[in-house]
Amino acid sequence: MSDRQFVIPIGPQHPALKEPTSFYFTVDGETVVDVEPRIGYNHRGIEKAMESRNYIQNLYITERVCGICSNAHQTAYTGAVEEAGGIQIPERAKYIRVFFHELERILATCCGLAWPPTR
């Protein structure tokens, strides 16, 4: 790295980022020379908070990862718990999950259409 190069950290909390990711940009003047992405960085400490709680308490934590897609996070978590525990869910429960995922998808689409464009 030369004397003219600087490392600029962007994220995890940045207005331009929709998800909690982190980037380290190495710049030389106005030119970006290198980017080190840290995808999946979660600034809320959710994994650490879940370590000291039981499965039911963790449902409430996974629901708070994202306000719009909370059902998807809960389903991913419960799917992992069910697989780890060898639990088989009824067919009806699978249909109900798909129904709510579709509602959530429609909600996310409507929010995306209503969100003001960035300049």
Q: HSE (CB half, 13 Å, CA atoms) of 73?
A: 15
Neighbours of 58 (CB within 10 A): 19
Query: pTM for the whole thing?
Result: 0.59
- Note if the bond before 12 is cis, omega within 30 degrees: yes
- Of the candidates 14, 44, 36, which has an alpha carbon nearest to the alpha carbon of residue 118? 14
| Tens of pLDDT, residues 24-74 | 889 888 888 999 887 765 556 788 888 899 989 998 888 877 777 788 888
* Residue pair 41/11 in contact by the 8 Å Cβ criterion: yes
- Of the candidates 23, 16, 82, 12, which has an alpha carbon nearest to the alpha carbon of residue 46? 12
- Of the candidates 110, 75, 80, 113, which has an alpha carbon nearest to the alpha carbon of residue 95? 75
- Of the candidates 57, 43, 4, which has an alpha carbon nearest to the alpha carbon of residue 26? 4
| Tens of pLDDT, residues 81-94 | 999 999 999 999 99
